[in-house]
Structure 1
Amino acid sequence: MCTLNQEKDAIEIQRLPVNSEEQVFHDWTIKYTKSHILHSICSSSEKCKDPASQCLLCVYTNTLELPHLPEMVFPNNKLILKHNSGAWIEFNALDALKKVCNGKQNLKVACSEEWKETRAPENLMEKIKPFDWTFSSDYRGTVSDIAVVTPTEERINIEKLKEKEKILFYQELMLYEDELHDNGISSCTIKIVSYIFHSSHCYARKFTK
């Protein structure tokens, strides 16, 4: 909800509540925040001229430099896993979208060739969007400076996952979603599952259809 403010070029945007929860699991503290989608208008064009005072929309627009953002972005949806040593890994929409390629991508929908056959050649003009409009991202989380990420041959123990355990903590967070101009859907979600005895699992899922 937006209302006009007497201050020039300022728009008051209703602050919706942010849902959050925190759980301690062995040496890890798991915390998430969850709230509404990114507003589609700038709250104050004057204040946003100062990089330190930018609204969330301007932060995303200026940081990512994409032709446009996904239809739904959830800037307050974050998952943080923090170890007692001080190391942490975080999942958030801004860093996930930083992984989207903003170079030219020759991507076409499945029905593009059939559509072209129904059009006169003189009315066709090849256009390549200047970025990956499916918002594909290989985002694997944002890690702290003291965390060390190393390659490993270790694999997930599938048999262990089959064991039935009581779930201590579960949450699914949507980072962003877009319907690709009614040609499908693209989404990025994070899931966290903690079992009461043995382990926690975090899943980063990028889905495009």
Structure 2
Amino acid sequence: MKTVLASRNAKKLKELRRILAEVAPSIELVGLDDVPEYPEAPETELTFAGNALLKAREAVRYTGLPAMADDSGITVDALNGMPGVFSARWSGRHGDDRANLELMLGQIGDVPDEHRGGAFVCAAAYVHPDGTELVALGEVRGRIIREPRGENGFGYDPVFVPEGHEVTTAELAPEVKDALSHRGRAFRDLAARLAEL
């Protein structure tokens, strides 16, 4: 079943194709670069689930295909859960991973290690042209380290060490990261629920 992922992030598309291949091989996931261009609505919702649904609904509206979307980010305990839904544009420029990461690290620079907890959070949404809508949530708790490490991830991966690990999510092998990631958890749950329909 051809399904649009409402994203232009090639790394995210690759990651989700790996995850869905395991649990929902009948879904052929294509990105926004694979469908006719349409005006993308800004992420105006204040929750991950709200933004994921907004993006998936827009993709269905313009393509006529079933759509998946996610909104995800990092929540930092010392920042009262921020950057949260603003993770991708925390520095003021959408998608500037380095600037976002450096700003967040600077904001908690004087926070002691024992108070540098946080979580990666993801809301994954599925919207079908018939009006069916599903949302699944995934979360991984961990801690924020002081210096980036690793090349296998994107966004805040180089500074996030998941609970039970000593390496960052950017240092994990892709299959290990997929198994424990917030995005992996949310999309595996979403795919399992789709299989029940």
TM-score (norm 1): 0.24
- Relative contact order (C-alpha < 8 Å, sep 6+): which is higher? 2
Larger Rg: 1
Higher helix share: 2
Higher strand share: 1
